């Protein structure tokens, strides 16, 4: 299937599917290289962002043990643990906190994640419901993956964590791993994949969504705003991000996505909404749960407002026609399996 065929298939999807909710991600919490994190400037604002998101009814929070690398290793989990600990017990119990463990080369075998899991659990102050494999090793070390997955399944079976999820796996790998876990009586709760109006590999995305639906596995759409590109209004292109990595991406994607963003803006105006909400509701219309990153209370309010409306089939068609003509897309994740 070609990218254009995949886009047509997306356009032909059901307009009456039950819409998923929205969560939020914390990759930026501690990340200097991509997001320009500064503790003195950002930490109080992130606490306010967290509280605003929860007060708006967002209860799914995604993090990872590799968020906040270098000297800030684990910073995202630390901040999240601090913020959650300040909540009343009842509110804490309503959250789904999901962290991802990175399959670094030195983590191998059935016990390869044990120390990492305990470190994450400590940073999160015990507030951890779901553990996820951060990426597949199928492309470079296929022997490593089975043992790590067995170890994660052990954590569920012995009651150390409630749920198990995956990330950056394609439909074939998902079906195989789901079957492997099912034989042990371990349900698979979710799989994360890059999904946005600017995401690559339409055909693989559609197949993953179809397989996930058949297996009753929730698809979490990461980078649903394409690093912020999809929230950039036409005419505001001169305001570029502070970090070199995001500036480079914006310079490549902004010109190519102008027609698409114009269509997004038109729908946003018609809806009395924002372009961010349009981007998120496109993902929800595909029966995925978007998990945009949040860094400010205003962003949290905007994201939550997307839950107040849903996209029509006609609006999806307008976006996909513009999307199909977009000559540039987001980079594919190099660890994404088939």
- Tell me the catalytic residues: 67
What is the DSSP-derived secondary structure letter of residue 307? Answer: G
Look-up of token digits 């998990």: 291
Neighbour tally for 338: CB within 10 Å = 13
Centroid of chain to Cα 23: 8
φ, ψ for residue 100, nearest 5 deg: -110, 135
State the residue for tokens 């065929």. Answer: 5
If phi > 0 it is left, if psi is from -120 to 50 it is alpha, else beta; for residue 186 that is: beta
**73 and 102 Cβ atoms separated by less than 8 Å:** no
CA distances 151 to 110, 117, 143, 245, 328, Å, are: 5, 10, 14, 35, 39
Q: Which two tokens stand for residue 184?
A: 């042990």
Sheet holding 190-194, edge to edge: 24-25, 60-64, 96-101, 130-133, 163-167, 190-194, 218-222, 289-290
Exposure class string for 105-136: b at 16+ Cβ within 10 A, else e? eebbeeebbeebbeebbebbbebbbbbbbbbb
Distance from the first to the final alpha carbon of the chain: 14
Closest CA to 194 of 184, 183, 204: 204
């Amino acid at each position: 299937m070609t990218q254009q065929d995949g886009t047509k298939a997306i356009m032909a999807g059901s307009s009456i599917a039950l819409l998923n909710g929205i969560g939020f991600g914390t990759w930026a919490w501690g990340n200097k290289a991509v997001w320009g994190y500064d503790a003195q400037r950002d930490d109080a604002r992130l606490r306010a962002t967290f509280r605003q998101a929860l007060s708006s009814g967002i209860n799914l929070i995604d993090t990872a043990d590799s968020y906040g690398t270098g000297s800030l290793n684990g910073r995202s989990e630390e901040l999240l643990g601090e913020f959650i600990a300040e909540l009343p017990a009842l509110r804490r119990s309503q959250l789904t906190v999901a962290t991802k463990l990175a399959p670094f080369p030195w983590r191998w075998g059935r016990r390869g994640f044990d120390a990492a899991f305990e470190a994450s659990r400590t940073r999160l102050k015990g507030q951890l419901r779901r553990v996820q494999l951060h990426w597949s090793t199928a492309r470079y070390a296929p022997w490593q993956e089975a043992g790590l997955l067995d170890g994660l399944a052990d954590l569920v079976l012995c009651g150390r964590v409630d749920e198990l999820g995956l990330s950056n796996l394609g439909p074939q790998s998902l079906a195989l791993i789901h079957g492997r876990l099912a034989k042990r009586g371990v349900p698979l709760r979710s799989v994360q994949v890059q999904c946005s109006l600017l995401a690559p590999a339409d055909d693989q995305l559609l197949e993953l969504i179809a397989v996930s639906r058949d297996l009753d596995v929730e698809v979490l759409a990461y980078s649903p705003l394409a690093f912020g590109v999809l929230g950039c209004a036409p005419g505001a292109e001169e305001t570029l991000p502070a970090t070199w990595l995001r500036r480079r991406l914006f310079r490549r994607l902004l010109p190519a996505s102008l027609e698409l963003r114009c269509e997004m803006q038109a729908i946003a105006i018609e809806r009395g909404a924002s372009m961010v909400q349009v981007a998120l509701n496109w993902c929800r219309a595909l029966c995925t749960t978007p998990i945009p990153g949040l860094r400010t209370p205003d962003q949290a309010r905007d994201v939550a407002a997307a839950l107040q409306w849903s996209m029509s089939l006609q609006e999806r068609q307008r976006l996909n026609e513009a999307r199909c003509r977009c000559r540039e897309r987001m980079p594919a994740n190099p660890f994404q399996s088939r």
